[in-house]
Amino acid sequence: MDKTRQVINNYYPGIDSIILVGNPYAGQSTNTASVDLYNLTDSTSITNSLLEANQLYGERIFLQTGN
């Protein structure tokens, strides 16, 4: 079991995965908006949680990580 699953199981018994859902957008199409889950305890990003988009506000779409 990886460290992320151990943390989830310690704080939320019976939960074996989580997903991140976001609606990121950029101010200009040449920019990129980045969102990811961050583990404050270990000061590290959660593997495979990164969502990135360069859509403008009116063109934004929902993005979701795997679990």
> What integer pLDDT is reported at residue 4 of this predicted model?
66
Identify which has the larger pLDDT, 32 or 2: 32
**Does 1 have pLDDT greater than 70?**
no
32 and 54 Cβ atoms separated by less than 8 Å: yes
State pLDDT tens for residues 5-55: 676 667 777 777 778 899 999 999 899 999 988 888 888 888 888 999 999
- Judged by DSSP in three states, 65 sits in coil
Q: Which residues of 10-20 are buried (b: 16+ CB within 10 A; e: fewer)?
A: eeeeeeeeeeb
Kindly report whether the global pTM for this prediction surpasses the value 0.75.
no
